[in-house]
Structure 1
Amino acid sequence: MGCCHPAKTLEVETTEKVTKIQRSSKALVLTPGDFVSIKVEPITGDYVFEDVLGYGAFGEVRKAYHKISKSERAIKSIDISNCKEEDIQKLLKEVSILKLLDHPNIIRIFEVYRSLTKLYIVTEICTGGELFHRIKHMKKFSENQAAKYMLEIISAVMHCHQRGVVHRDLKPENLLFTSKNPDAKLKLIDFGTSALFDKTKKMKGIIGTYFYMAPEVISGNYDEKCDVWSLGVILYILLSGNLPFSGSTDEEIISKIQNAPVSFTRSTWNSVSEEAKTLIMKMLKKVPETRISIEDVFSSQWLKSRSRGNLPDVEFEVELLNKLGHFETESTLQHAVYSYIISQMMDSSYFIKLNEIFSQIDKNGDGMISREELVYAALKFDLKFDIDQIIQRCDTDGNGYINYSEFLTATVEASHAYSRERVRQVFEVFDKNKDGKLSLDEIRSALGGDANNFTVFKQIISEVDTNCDGYIDFDEFLNYVSKRK
């Protein structure tokens, strides 16, 4: 994944270069998606519903208050009273796909509740509104502002593609701002039409919104490059305030998408650079084989030069790299609980500065820090780390990279994130029957993971259960989770 090649002599302590670090077989293999469960108990036991945020094709979205973590979240309510089981499984496909994704610019899913009549999908809340509404208000954006937005969106879509997911409905309505702050970040949402793809096979079926739909999707024979076309349409709109292919009927829109050239004749394009227009032309090539790749869009000169914001906080970056270099948990349970806190219990607003540094280190923008990228970052500040050891300590899913949540787990301010109060909240969530102690089944239910984790969970119980009653009470849980190296 890494794209950086330091020119000077490598001074970072490391073992033989490898593309994937093998984890110990004793390790608990976990991803943030493992913490996302489908619950059948009443959602009102855990949440207080508040204002309606909006309405979609399947139901309403409401703001809700999570009783234990005391945080605000968004809950999509879907009426399934008249749905067949196969239709419900199609709705749950969005959940399965969101569980695969772990990126600062992709909406985070927490959990799912299912009753006889409703399906509730709980995600992080974004209060800044749609990119679509900012476009309507601003009419158009400067190249620098457009590039900043596009950098975030493209990185999110690159991460999707890297995980084998094609979105298929990229549009400004599916991009939400985290807050109303002018510098708020974007989050990609609505994976209801997304799909897993196989690079050896083409996808079929007309999916998406016509204004943003690639010609090959209309023809019903396409691959993940259809997302690049949609991104090109979004960039065109950001810089001009207009759609590249519009019409009063679906037939007219389709005809223009398939046959009309991209036009820059409106006066609004007079102040836009040739570099931006050239990039748009490459993204809106009608033949997908000649269309620019998403990796080349991300590394394009226009995007890199125009998206530069304030200079990065060098002192803070060094501080985080040192945290990463010295991160080590005392036990399997401690690491799992820390990961759970980051993925399930903390508001994303707490990670704003961490996200900026993560993006600085993630040079190729795929939402993961590779060994090569970590070497480059350490070398830049002349930091002496055992790179392979860092990856081994942080890499809970064993893919050989430091994913977004793994980075946060290692670099967050521990005294705040992993406080006694936060650990108590986790214990309350894990303790399903509210008897004040955790059983093996409750630990397994909370932490999930693959089938190979069963023996690890048994080992956790035996290590933490100091009074040998077969359960973990809160004091045992707190003492074990709070240990420091």
Structure 2
Amino acid sequence: MGQCYGKTIPTSENHGCTTTITVTDGGDRHSQTPPRNGTPSVKNTPSRSSAASSPWPSPYPFGVGDATPAGVSPSPSRSTPRRFFKRPFPPPSPAKHIRSSLRKLGAHGKKPPREGTIPEEAATTVAEGAEPIHNALDKNFGYNKNFGAKFELGKEVGRGHFGHTCYAKARRGELKDIPLAVKIISKAKMTTAISIEDVRREVKILKALSGHKHLVRYYDACEDANNVYIIMELCEGGELLDRILSKGGRYTEEEAKLIVVQILSVVSFCHLQGVVHRDLKPENFLFTSRNEDADMKLIDFGLSDFIKPDERLNDIVGSAYYVAPEVLHRSYSVEADIWSIGVITYILLCGSRPFWARTESGIFRSVLRADPNFEDMPWPSISPHAKDFVKRLLNKDYRKRMTAAQALTHPWLRSESHPIPFDILIYKLVNSYVHATPFKRAALKALSKALTEDELLYLRAQFMLLEPGDDGRVSLDNFRKALAYNATDAMQVSRVPDILHMMSPLAYRKLDFDEFCAAAISTYQLEALENWEQIAFTAFEHFEQEGNRVISVEELARELNVGQTAHYMLRDWMKSDGKLSLLGYTKFLHGLTLRSSNTRQR
């Protein structure tokens, strides 16, 4: 496929090409012949809203241990079966609209999810004799219109659904001797206002996200009457997918680490800027050269978007094999990218996909309810740290996944050779902490005292990035400077600095490292650890000694911001002496949700 910056669709020529390598039960590796474009890109009608106000709620119940869509019978196996292809077969079509697959998932009388706007494939349908809708669209982007005078196109190096990519060279100027790639997007295919905005946003994101080592470099954008031209650096080393295949479908752990560190580095940078990629897959990582040690670059921001700190997205986009469960539930944020990285890492280590099926609806069903297979070869020979790393990225509860910055401190990747980037999650957690009640802060302080050195390593790295003063403490000014130091233009668009205004109470206090740990830990992430029960028990012992006081059900309800209907549940959290029990302590750390309340009532 070469250097293709567009999304791919299957054609009659590529149905029989190889996209994955699987390993038989006996450990023999076989090159198979599923789709060359084996990661079908899917895009539902885009619509944005916050989770709280979304007019398109999730069509499926979602919670820990409850990821099966309504109307879908329980799977006889909770683990994705290994697949051994006997013959070539066409992949699920990336051009096929995802609504039909979701309609199958919501069968047995269930209505498909509501759409926010007119679907793209229906947008060109007009009354007989009327002018096509897209003729009235404004396709003037305001980009330079002298592309032909500035650049000379070479041969095509890649083709996708919305455009193709060519070699190019500048006729003059500072780019004259720099190898270039030009992504050419046809205006004729921009049939809706949404598709036009997608192109405009892709250019805006590429332009704003400047300067990272593993991000494809953007140079310019031009247009004429027929096309939009996005000029970028040329990456001549091919796709990560091609290298996976050339290695027989499996990397060694050391080789995989080098790849995963680069992916996490650039994705953590994007997330800090408030950009979610939404289409992370091996095809979208290109090597700068054919050298074995060449750097990788992240490309194709055609499905990417800016996201505000507390925003949830609800449009279903991405590639079926890499899509996160919460995307199918229509409420997600940057954690969806982390899931995709987990899928990529799984493929690197064993050569097969963790979630597999012959159809889109089958893939989605597997993503929602099946567990990855860690039993068959080669997993028994892979290190426990590597397996733990993948499992903590492929947790179906997005709240329990590591962030990209956290993943770089995981024991499997831990090294002094790569820097630990600043994590935007720190701002969100500290913001919640400074607005919490004294009782909640006492509970979090007790939890922080139960952390092991492994968990503290990430927190210590983040604390040092804030550059504490001579007194060993940090204030709001430290957070402000750290954000400014890492900022690009994208951060302003996604309004990430707004979180500093919410942290205003920190202007009148400082945090030492112990209190910073209490402020910056996530109970949900700790729950994903194998030793969570021991951590919770140790934390509760500290809480009993220092913070667990007599509290009435009414006061506890006010702490949790719930009404009288939840009082019967809160009483189960209390001991006979009026203090929280161990169960109550762990539940209190989470807070009370409407779903947990409804479940109890049933």
1:213 pairs with one of 323, 331, 349? 323
Contact 1:197/1:223 (8 A) holds in 2: yes
Alignment of 1:314-353 (within 5 A): none
Contact 1:78/1:120 (8 A) holds in 2: yes
- Go from structure 1 to structure 2 and tell me whether the alpha carbon gap of 1:247 and 1:84 turns closer, same or farther (over 3 Å shift): closer
- Go from structure 1 to structure 2 and tell me whether the alpha carbon gap of 1:194 and 1:82 turns closer, same or farther (over 3 Å shift): closer
Deviations 1:196-232 (A, max 9, x none): 1123221102110111011110111111101110000
1:52 pairs with one of 135, 156, 161? 156
Alignment of 1:28-107 (within 5 A): 39-68=143-172, 69-81=176-188, 83=190, 86=193, 87-102=195-210, 103-107=212-216
For the residue of structure 1 that corresponds to 2:236, the secondary structure is coil
Contact 2:198/2:303 (8 A) holds in 1: no
Shift in Å, 1:40: 3.3
For the residue of structure 2 that corresponds to 1:93, the secondary structure is helix
- Go from structure 1 to structure 2 and tell me whether the alpha carbon gap of 1:398 and 1:290 turns closer, same or farther (over 3 Å shift): closer
For the residue of structure 2 that corresponds to 1:81, the secondary structure is helix
Contact 1:46/1:66 (8 A) holds in 2: yes
Normalising by structure 2, we get a TM-score of 0.46
Shift in Å, 1:129: 0.5
Counterpart residue number, 2:310: 200
Does 290-299 or 150-159 show the bigger shift?
Answer: 290-299
Contact 2:409/2:420 (8 A) holds in 1: no
* Contiguous gaps of at least 5 residues in structure 2: 1-140, 425-460, 469-480, 490-602
Counterpart residue number, 1:124: 233
Shift in Å, 1:401: 1.8
For the residue of structure 1 that corresponds to 2:348, the secondary structure is helix
Whole-Å Cα distance in 2 between the matches of residues 217 and 239 of structure 1?
25
Shift in Å, 1:250: 1.3
Match status 1:401 vs 2:505: no
Alignment of 1:403-422 (within 5 A): none
Counterpart residue number, 1:115: 224
Match status 1:253 vs 2:360: no
Deviations 1:45-74 (A, max 9, x none): 111111211101112100001122322100
Whole-Å Cα distance in 2 between the matches of residues 43 and 227 of structure 1?
34
Match status 1:177 vs 2:284: no
Whole-Å Cα distance in 2 between the matches of residues 148 and 297 of structure 1?
13
- Go from structure 1 to structure 2 and tell me whether the alpha carbon gap of 1:370 and 1:38 turns closer, same or farther (over 3 Å shift): farther
Q: Count the aligned residue pairs.
A: 295
Contact 1:146/1:239 (8 A) holds in 2: yes
- Go from structure 1 to structure 2 and tell me whether the alpha carbon gap of 1:374 and 1:271 turns closer, same or farther (over 3 Å shift): same
Which structure shows the bigger proportion of residues in helix conformation? 1
Contact 2:214/2:296 (8 A) holds in 1: yes
1:299 pairs with one of 386, 402, 409? 409
Contact 2:272/2:422 (8 A) holds in 1: no
Whole-Å Cα distance in 1 between the matches of residues 381 and 329 of structure 2?
35
Percent identity over paired residues: 33
Whole-Å Cα distance in 2 between the matches of residues 278 and 115 of structure 1?
51
Whole-Å Cα distance in 1 between the matches of residues 466 and 397 of structure 2?
37
Shift in Å, 1:155: 0.7
Shift in Å, 1:42: 2.7
Contact 1:370/1:402 (8 A) holds in 2: no
Counterpart residue number, 1:421: none
For the residue of structure 2 that corresponds to 1:107, the secondary structure is coil
Whole-Å Cα distance in 2 between the matches of residues 80 and 300 of structure 1?
45
Counterpart residue number, 1:136: 245
For the residue of structure 2 that corresponds to 1:71, the secondary structure is coil
Counterpart residue number, 1:440: none
Matched to 2:258, the amino acid is K
Does 211-220 or 84-93 show the bigger shift?
Answer: 84-93
Contact 2:208/2:488 (8 A) holds in 1: no
1:237 pairs with one of 347, 350, 365? 347
Whole-Å Cα distance in 2 between the matches of residues 49 and 402 of structure 1?
36
Matched to 1:42, the amino acid is N
- Go from structure 1 to structure 2 and tell me whether the alpha carbon gap of 1:187 and 1:301 turns closer, same or farther (over 3 Å shift): same
Whole-Å Cα distance in 1 between the matches of residues 488 and 287 of structure 2?
19
Contact 1:299/1:364 (8 A) holds in 2: no
For the residue of structure 1 that corresponds to 2:372, the secondary structure is coil
For the residue of structure 2 that corresponds to 1:303, the secondary structure is coil
Shift in Å, 1:96: 0.6
Matched to 2:227, the amino acid is K
- Go from structure 1 to structure 2 and tell me whether the alpha carbon gap of 1:252 and 1:39 turns closer, same or farther (over 3 Å shift): closer
Whole-Å Cα distance in 2 between the matches of residues 222 and 373 of structure 1?
28
Counterpart residue number, 2:421: 364
* Contiguous gaps of at least 5 residues in structure 1: 1-36, 309-359, 377-396, 406-485
Matched to 2:144, the amino acid is V
The RMSD of aligned alpha carbons is: 2.8
Deviations 1:92-125 (A, max 9, x none): 1101111221211011110011111111000010
Deviations 1:259-296 (A, max 9, x none): 11121122121321010001111111101122222221
Contact 2:221/2:230 (8 A) holds in 1: yes
Whole-Å Cα distance in 2 between the matches of residues 146 and 365 of structure 1?
23
Contact 1:38/1:112 (8 A) holds in 2: no
Whole-Å Cα distance in 2 between the matches of residues 272 and 49 of structure 1?
46
Contact 1:100/1:163 (8 A) holds in 2: no
Normalising by structure 1, we get a TM-score of 0.57
Counterpart residue number, 2:64: none
For the residue of structure 1 that corresponds to 2:258, the secondary structure is helix
Moved over 4 A (4+): 369-376, 402-405
Counterpart residue number, 1:320: none
- Go from structure 1 to structure 2 and tell me whether the alpha carbon gap of 1:175 and 1:119 turns closer, same or farther (over 3 Å shift): same
